[in-house]
C-alpha cells in the first residue's frame, strides 16, 4: 500500500467540495428515476434507455470519485477499479427494489435493501479478498454527509446543535460509565471494556477506532467491537422508527433519540431517512454533537490509561498531548458545517434550486453504497464464537440502557 497523501476525513472534505464545485459551475448531476408500482412501470419508467443512461452517467461520476479517493489514500487503485462496479450494481438493484410503491409504503428505504443484499452475499457465499479489501464504507458515508450539509440550514444546526450537545454530554457520560461498569462486572478485561464503552456511548465505529488508537489496543478486539456495532445497528435502524411511531413521538424527538442511540453515523442516516426530513436533520445534528466529543473522549481515555497500572511500553508511547484532541476530531464534521454555511449564506436561492435535486440523489446513492459495503464486510459468525459471548452480552445490555436514557433526555430537550 502506498503512503496516504491525506487522512480519510480530509480526503472526504476535499472530494465533497469537488462534487459541490462541479455542480455549481454548471455540470448537471443526473438523477435517475427508481419509482415504480407494476412491472409495466418498471419497464416504462426505470428500465428505459434514457433512465439507464442517467444511471450510467452517475456511475461514471462516482467511479471517478472512488478511484481518486483510493489514489489519495494510498489504497489499491486496481482493487477499487474492480470492486466499485460490483458494489454499484448491487446498490442499483437495492435502489430499484426500494423504488417499488408497496415497499415505500412500509418505509423500507434503499439502505435497508443494500444492507440486506450485502449481508446475504457475505454470509452465504465466499467473497474474493480483493473485493472485501476494496470496500470503503466510512468514506462513502462521509461523502454523503458532506452533501447532506448542503440541505441543512445553519440556523437549524445552531438551534439543534446546542440541545444536541447537552444531550450528548448527558448520554455519553452516563452510558460510558454504565457500559464500563457492566463490562467489568462480567469479567471483561479493561482494554476490551474501554472499547465497548466508547463504541456504545459516543459514535460506534469511529469511537472504537479512536479509543483503540489512544490506548494502543488489540486489533482483534477492535475488529470484534466493530462487528458488534455494525450488526446490532441493523435491527435498530429498522425497529426504532416503528417504536417511535407507536409511542407517538414527534419527528424532532425521534431524530434526537435515533441520533443519540444508534452507534454509527450511517445507520443514524438510514433510520432518520425512514422517519422523515426533520428527523433526518435532527438525528444527523445530534450524532454530530456526539462526534464532536470524540476527540475529548480519546484525550481523557488516553490520560486515564497512562496514569493507571497499565504501564506497558506500548501504552507509554500513547501519552497524551493537546494535539490528540485535534488529531481525533472528526474533520468531516467541519466539511458538513462548511457546506451548510455556503448554502445558507453564500449561494443564491436560484442556484440552490437548480442543484438540490442532483445533490439529494447523489447523497442517497453514497449512503446506499456504504450500506452495501457494510453488508459485504459483515459476518454474523463473528459474534457467536465461544470467547465472544461476554463482550456481546455487555454491549447489548449497555445499548439497552442507552436506548432508555437517550429517549428520556431527548423527550425533555426536544419534546
pLDDT score at 361 = 87
pLDDT score at 208 = 81
Tell me the average pLDDT across 330-334: 78
pLDDT score at 243 = 93
Does the pLDDT of residue 52 top 90, yes or no? yes
**Residue 156: partners with Cβ closer than 8 Å, 6 or more residues away:** 281, 285
Question: Would you list the DSSP string of 83-132?
Answer: HHHHHHHHHHHHHHHHTBHHHHHTT--HHHHHHHHHHHHHHHS---HHHH
Give the Cβ contact number of residue 31 at 10 Å.
18
Does the pLDDT of residue 175 top 80, yes or no? yes
Q: Considering only residues 48 and 310, tell me which one the structure prediction assigns the higher pLDDT.
A: 48
Backbone angles phi, psi at 36, to 5 degrees: -160, 155
d(CA 360, CA 26): 16
pLDDT score at 320 = 56
pLDDT digits (tens, 9 = 90+) for 355-381: 888 888 898 899 889 888 888 887 766
pLDDT digits (tens, 9 = 90+) for 19-48: 999 999 988 888 899 989 988 989 989 999
pLDDT score at 398 = 94
**Residue 276: partners with Cβ closer than 8 Å, 6 or more residues away:** 251
Residue of 11, 136, 126 whose CA lies nearest to 76? 136
pLDDT score at 228 = 81
Give the Cβ contact number of residue 72 at 10 Å.
18
pLDDT score at 233 = 80
Does the pLDDT of residue 138 top 70, yes or no? yes
d(CA 292, CA 198): 13
pLDDT digits (tens, 9 = 90+) for 10-25: 999 999 999 999 999 9
Q: Considering only residues 2 and 88, tell me which one the structure prediction assigns the higher pLDDT.
A: 88
Does the pLDDT of residue 155 top 70, yes or no? no
**Given pLDDT bands bounded at 50, 70 and 90, which one contains residue 107?**
low
d(CA 212, CA 231): 20
Q: How many angstroms separate the Cα of 354 from the Cα of each of 23, 31, 35?
A: 9, 12, 21
d(CA 377, CA 138): 12
d(CA 42, CA 73): 39
Backbone angles phi, psi at 100, to 5 degrees: -65, 135
pTM, whole model, 2 decimals? 0.71
**Given pLDDT bands bounded at 50, 70 and 90, which one contains residue 54?**
very high
Cell 447532506, residue?
148
Tell me the average pLDDT across 262-287: 82
Amino acid at each position: 500500500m502506498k503512503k496516504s497523501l491525506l487522512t480519510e476525513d480530509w480526503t472526504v472534505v476535499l472530494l465533497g467540495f469537488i462534487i459541490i464545485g462541479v455542480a455549481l459551475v454548471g455540470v448537471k448531476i443526473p438523477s435517475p428515476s427508481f419509482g415504480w408500482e407494476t412491472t409495466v412501470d418498471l419497464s416504462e419508467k426505470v428500465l428505459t434507455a434514457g433512465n439507464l443512461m442517467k444511471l450510467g452517467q452517475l456511475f461514471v461520476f462516482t467511479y471517478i470519485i472512488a478511484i481518486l479517493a483510493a489514489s489519495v489514500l494510498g489504497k489499491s487503485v486496481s482493487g477499487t477499479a474492480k470492486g466499485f462496479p460490483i458494489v454499484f450494481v448491487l446498490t442499483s438493484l437495492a435502489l430499484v427494489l426500494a423504488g417499488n410503491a408497496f415497499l415505500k409504503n412500509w418505509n423500507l428505504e434503499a439502505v435497508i435493501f443494500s444492507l440486506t443484499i450485502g449481508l446475504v452475499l457475505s454470509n452465504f457465499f465466499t467473497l474474493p479478498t480483493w473485493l472485501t479489501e476494496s470496500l470503503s464504507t466510512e468514506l462513502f458515508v462521509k461523502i454523503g454527509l458532506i452533501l447532506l450539509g448542503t440541505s441543512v440550514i445553519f440556523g437549524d444546526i445552531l438551534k439543534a446543535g446546542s440541545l444536541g450537545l447537552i444531550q450528548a454530554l448527558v448520554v455519553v457520560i452516563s452510558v460510558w460509565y454504565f457500559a464500563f461498569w457492566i463490562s467489568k462486572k462480567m469479567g471483561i478485561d479493561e482494554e476490551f471494556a474501554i472499547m465497548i464503552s466508547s463504541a456504545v456511548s459516543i459514535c460506534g465505529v469511529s469511537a472504537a477506532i479512536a479509543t483503540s488508537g489512544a490506548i494502543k489496543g488489540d486489533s482483534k478486539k477492535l475488529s470484534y467491537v466493530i462487528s458488534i456495532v455494525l450488526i446490532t445497528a441493523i435491527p435498530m435502524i429498522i425497529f426504532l422508527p416503528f417504536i417511535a411511531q407507536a409511542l407517538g413521538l414527534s419527528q424532532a424527538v425521534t431524530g434526537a433519540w435515533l441520533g443519540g442511540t444508534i452507534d454509527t453515523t450511517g445507520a443514524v442516516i438510514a433510520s432518520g431517512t425512514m422517519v422523515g426530513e426533520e428527523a433526518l436533520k435532527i438525528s444527523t445534528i445530534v450524532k454530530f454533537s456526539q462526534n464532536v466529543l470524540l476527540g475529548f473522549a480519546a484525550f481523557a481515555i488516553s490520560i486515564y490509561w497512562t496514569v493507571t497500572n497499565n504501564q506497558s511500553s506500548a501504552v507509554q508511547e500513547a501519552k497524551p498531548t493537546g494535539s490528540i484532541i485535534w488529531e481525533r476530531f472528526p474533520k468531516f464534521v467541519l466539511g458538513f458545517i462548511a457546506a451548510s454555511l455556503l448554502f445558507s449564506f453564500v449561494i443564491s436561492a436560484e442556484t440552490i434550486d437548480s442543484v438540490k435535486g442532483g445533490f439529494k440523489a447523489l447523497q442517497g446513492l453514497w449512503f446506499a453504497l456504504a450500506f452495501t459495503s457494510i453488508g459485504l464486510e459483515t459476518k454474523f459468525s463473528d459474534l457467536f464464537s465461544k470467547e465472544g459471548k461476554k463482550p456481546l452480552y455487555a454491549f447489548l445490555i449497555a445499548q439497552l440502557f442507552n436506548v432508555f436514557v437517550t429517549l428520556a433526555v431527548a423527550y425533555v430537550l426536544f419534546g
